[in-house]
Amino acid sequence: MSTCHGLQILGASTSAELDDTYTGIDPRDGSELPGAFHEASDAEIDRAVSAAYQAFDAFRTTTAEQRATLLDTIADTAMAAGDELLQRASAETGHPIERCAAERGRAVSQARLFAEMVREGSWVDARIDHAEPTRQPLPKPDVRSMQLAIGPIAVFGASNFPIAISVLGADTISAFAAGCPVIVKGHPAHPGTCEIAAEIIRTAIAKCDLPADIFSLIHGRSHRVGAELVKHPQLAAAAFTGSLKGGRALFDIANSRPQPIPLYAEMGSVNPIFILPGAMTERSAQIAQGYIDSLTMGVGQFCTNPGMVLGLGEAAGWKDFRESAAELVRQHEPQTMLHCGIHYAYQEGIHRLQHSSGLRQVSRSSREPDETASEAACYLFETTADGLRHNPELYDEVFGPVSTLVNCSSPADLEEFAEQLEGSLTASIHGTEEDLRAHAGLVRILEKKAGRLIFNGYPVGLEICHSIHHGGPYPATCHSHFTSIGTRCINRFVRPVCYQDWPDSALPPELQESNPLGITRIVNGKSSQ
């Protein structure tokens, strides 16, 4: 494994002003990995954002084809880089190489999807209302509008997706697609992966002959680095994926600035599964298998991990479902978590659940986990409707392979607990069409509580496409109107600008009367090309 240089990447240059360094750690044995990574200084953060701001006008006025070519070139360069990225990501996270390769594939496909969208062009939401100079009692002006890039974006990499929701993730790619420069705050748990990915992007920018300052990577373990980045007066917005505590802290900083900016934080949730009687009667064992597979995938380290299952305990099949799930949990082998910090927090969460009144441990992995390898056992707890009423902390997410079964006595219980849910990224319902008709009230409640409603499926796993919405009401995210995955996530980094009575030759091509780009637009209230 090659040694990383560990320097801040500031456009075309590198820098290391502070002697404060740290290393990547292999969570499987606690060993230090090659490379010493320098904490970013305030001056380096300022240079990164200031340079991005200076490059903004040149980048935002590039053509759609230039930005699409950049995204395709990033994808090509990531694949041409070989296995170095995968090997480092595996070493820093404990993920198998196959999982890292799948993440790279997701990042590459995502970049190509955005390239297609940028070329097609309709995402700018161009709207034209023609003038009516003879309208009475007042003439109607010519009014046109479209989405434009907002400026430099700070991106905070996620701990659980070192490739696909980090330097090469949707935040960076969608910002580039919009024409916004990016400053990535690398995650300290996988600094080498961040550096290798950053060099891929820097190479692609050079190949496309675009301004080098549209991209920078800064390192840092301390909260100071992220805080100073979000405070910078020339930053336009920030995107974060991580804990509620971290996201809320950055959100508060972003909103306390003299000029507040949006902080788009995706912070996880409990992601409940509701199992209705028809489905429980028909396929309890099948549902149990899918549920435990979803719970344990990636050692439970997904923001969509199913932390709670609610069903009617008197329904036929509930007992079989419970027993099947418990046996699958016993069979599950403990696995290494992403890093010691996540492992410690998981252990603390399990300890809290084990000492919660009204909660009983149903099952856990039979083999004892190896603490030196940051391994996590899988746990399954259960409670009753009354137990959940008296333990509202059960609605809190515990990040890892642990979940709670809630034995409800009536459909009214299901609706009561759905109402008590805080905002969630997902909510899943297993049932029949007759179940959906009989529990229409539950569905209406969950529409208010979750960003993605899943029928007869499981929350872990996202289809990267135009329709996907990965968001939800607070505290799942800070802004429920926006997604952090899928092509609509570009809407976080643009704003509508209206042009009134402008000469055609001075308008952006997307708004010119002849429609030289051939994009779909709304003209006088109707879709048109």
Report, as residue numbers or ranges, the catalytic residues: 266, 303
Phi, psi of 35 (to 5 degrees): 110, 130
- Strands 21-22, 37-38: pairing is antiparallel
Whether the Cβ atoms of residue 425 and residue 304 lie closer than 8 Å to each other: yes
Whether the Cβ atoms of residue 48 and residue 8 lie closer than 8 Å to each other: yes
Q: Which long-range contacts (CB under 8 A, 24 or more apart) does 222-230 make?
A: 222/39, 223/249, 225/39, 225/40, 225/45, 225/185, 226/156, 226/185, 226/250, 227/253, 228/42, 228/45, 229/45, 229/49, 229/154, 229/183, 229/185, 230/154, 230/254, 230/257, 230/261, 230/263
For residue 516, count CB atoms less than 10 angstroms from its CB and return exposed for 0-12, middle for 13-18, buried for 19 or more.
Answer: exposed
Rounded to whole angstroms, the Cα distance separating 26 from 95 reads 10
| SS3 of 414-462 | HHHHHHHCCCEEEEEEECCHHHHHHCHHHHHHHHHHEEEEEECCCCCCC
Helix (H) / strand (E) element for 218: namely strand 215-218
Rounded to whole angstroms, the Cα distance separating 365 from 168 reads 35
Whether the Cβ atoms of residue 205 and residue 212 lie closer than 8 Å to each other: yes
Whether the Cβ atoms of residue 305 and residue 460 lie closer than 8 Å to each other: yes
Whether the Cβ atoms of residue 321 and residue 280 lie closer than 8 Å to each other: yes
Q: What are the tokens at 62?
A: 């590039």
Q: Which ranges of 297-339 does DSSP label H, i.e. alpha helix?
A: 318-331
Whether the Cβ atoms of residue 415 and residue 445 lie closer than 8 Å to each other: yes
Q: The tokens 């991580």 sit on which residue? A: 242
Q: What are the tokens at 459?
A: 């929350």
Phi, psi of 484 (to 5 degrees): -100, -5
